[in-house]
């Protein structure tokens, strides 16, 4: 667990200079990117990214659709060209021994008329040394379905099989681009356990995911990309402490909360808790921020005092998801003020205001295990 490598907030400087990445703790970083840039036509997919990943670390990369996560993974695995200084095990990505790298691309369509076992066997056969196929299938929860053709597997089973092909060479550095998309909870847990086991064994893991709970659970450090820039990075708990906001009490009310109700509840909470609360109308009802566990009763009493009829109540600590929502400016309340911090609202810039939010592109990811194709010649085509 590396708590020291990167400060909890690293915003790109206004003058465009690219500060050197903070030192990763304990020896040379396995992955280094300094001033990494990549454009597709007018779209700046990466706009000066600095990062470093220490050996044995699980590094989580998060960000909205189109933020540049997959492009960064591709740049770091040598499957696309990018400007800037990129080093993996101290070498340019394309010079790294593929046997040391595992790669699960975001989009990966292996031959459909092979069984899961044959696929893992096939990818394992590309290396001088590979793990035992059966144990890899077992790791991803595919042992029982190993004889089914890939094309007949469910979406989640396919993804598990793809994960298996990415780890069959027992890589030192594993890139997982949204590994659990479409996988059911049991399968997700199996993948999480696998990542934890690999990390415990010394594998460095570079993980992108939209599942904040997954990243919060697995990652030692997280970098958040927005519009091709790192807008925050650090250990998840530090990010939550600095950007997650206050604990909150959510009341689901039958009627939408009017401004009058919001003001009355705010006054009541202020009186009962002795603090200046933030009360907001949400889609579901009301949200009171800054309610500590010992104050939940007083906050509920304040709702009662004002005759707020609620169907349910929930209290929650801030999480990485709150950090994400605040720093992407996606936090939403019905009244629209959302509690979005000024620094988040003004951070970064929209490099691609007119870019399609989901990337709007064909599948063009790399083959797993470091056997590479590039998209540079035909960026819109699939490469598999
Ligand atoms: N091969 C390509 N050709 C043209 N534009 C591309 C290509 N790959 C990515 N882009 C653009 O670069 C930007 C970053 O895309 P990227 O796929 O890296 O984002 P992402 O963070 O991985 O998104 P998502 O969460 O949707 O997977 C997007 O605007 C996308 O449209």
Q: For 279-336, write each residue's pLDDT tens digit.
A: 989 888 999 988 888 888 888 888 888 888 889 999 999 999 989 998 887 765 443 3
Of 71-75, 180-184, 293-297, 332-336, give the range with the top mean pLDDT: 71-75
Give the pLDDT of residue 331. 63
The best mutation among 45, 364, 378 to test binding of ligand 1, ranked by most ligand atoms within 8 Å of the C-beta, falls on: 45
Alpha-helix runs per DSSP H in the chain: 69-76, 116-124, 133-139, 155-167, 185-200, 212-218, 236-243, 259-273, 296-305, 320-327, 342-345
Q: What is the number of the ligand 1 atom nearest to the C-alpha of 360?
A: 31
Q: For 13-48, write each residue's pLDDT tens digit.
A: 333 333 333 344 456 899 999 999 999 999 999 999
Give the pLDDT of residue 148. 96
- Prediction pTM value: 0.78
Banded model confidence at residue 384, pLDDT cuts 50, 70, 90? very low
| ipTM of the complex in this document | 0.98
Nearest alpha carbon, ligand 1 atom 26: 65
Banded model confidence at residue 345, pLDDT cuts 50, 70, 90? very low
Say how many Å lie between the CA of residue 183 and the centre of ligand 1.
22
The best mutation among 33, 49, 66 to test binding of ligand 1, ranked by most ligand atoms within 8 Å of the C-beta, falls on: 66
Mean residue pLDDT of the chain comes to 81
Q: For 96-118, write each residue's pLDDT tens digit.
A: 999 999 999 988 889 999 999 99
Q: Report d(CA 169, CA 218) in Å as an integer.
A: 22
Give residues (CB < 6 A) around ligand 1: 40, 43, 45, 63, 65-71, 106, 352, 355-356, 358-361, 364, 375, 379-380
Q: What CA dihedral angle connects 313, 314, 315 and 321, to 10 degrees?
A: -140
Q: Tell how strand 278-281 and strand 285-289 pair up.
A: antiparallel
DSSP letters spanning 262-283? HHHHHHHHHHHHSS--EEEE-S
When pLDDT is averaged across residues 252-277 and rounded to a whole number, the result is 86
Higher pLDDT, 302 or 119: 119
Say how many Å lie between the CA of residue 108 and the centre of ligand 1.
15
Banded model confidence at residue 7, pLDDT cuts 50, 70, 90? very low
């Amino acid at each position: 667990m590396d708590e020291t490598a990167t400060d909890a907030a690293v915003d790109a400087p206004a003058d465009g200079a690219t500060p050197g990445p903070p030192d990763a703790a304990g020896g040379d970083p396995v992955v280094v990117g300094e001033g990494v840039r990549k454009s597709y036509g007018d779209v700046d997919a990466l706009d000066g990214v600095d990062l470093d990943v220490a050996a044995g670390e699980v590094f989580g990369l998060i960000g909205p659709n189109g933020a540049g996560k997959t492009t960064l993974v591709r740049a770091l695995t040598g499957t696309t060209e990018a400007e800037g200084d990129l080093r993996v095990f101290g070498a340019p990505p394309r010079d790294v021994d593929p046997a040391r790298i595992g790669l699960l691309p975001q989009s990966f369509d292996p031959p459909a008329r092979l069984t899961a076992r044959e696929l893992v066997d096939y990818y394992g056969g590309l290396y001088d040394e590979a793990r035992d196929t059966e144990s890899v299938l077992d790791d991803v929860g595919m042992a029982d379905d190993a004889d089914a053709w890939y094309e007949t597997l469910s979406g989640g089973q396919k993804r598990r099989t793809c994960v298996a092909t990415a780890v069959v060479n027992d890589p030192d550095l594993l890139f997982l681009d949204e590994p659990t998309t479409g996988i059911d909870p049991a399968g997700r847990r199996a993948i999480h356990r696998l990542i934890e086991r690999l990390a415990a064994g010394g594998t460095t893991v570079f993980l992108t995911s939209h599942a904040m709970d997954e990243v919060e659970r697995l990652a030692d450090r997280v970098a958040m990309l927005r519009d091709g820039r790192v807008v925050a990075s650090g250990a998840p708990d530090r990010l939550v402490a600095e950007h997650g906001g206050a604990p909150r009490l959510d009341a689901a009310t039958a009627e939408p909360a009017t401004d009058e109700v919001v003001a009355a509840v705010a006054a009541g909470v202020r009186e009962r808790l002795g603090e200046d609360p933030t009360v907001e109308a949400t889609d579901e009802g009301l949200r009171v921020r800054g309610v500590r566990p010992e104050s939940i009763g007083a906050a509920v009493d304040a709702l009662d005092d004002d005759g707020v009829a609620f169907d349910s109540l929930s209290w929650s600590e801030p999480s990485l998801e709150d950090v994400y929502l605040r720093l992407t400016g996606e936090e939403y309340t019905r009244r629209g003020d959302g509690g979005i911090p000024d620094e988040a609202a003004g951070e970064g810039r929209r490099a691609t205001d007119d870019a399609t939010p989901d990337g709007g592109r064909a599948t063009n990811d790399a083959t797993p295990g470091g056997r590479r194709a590039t998209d540079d010649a035909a960026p819109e085509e699939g490469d598999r």
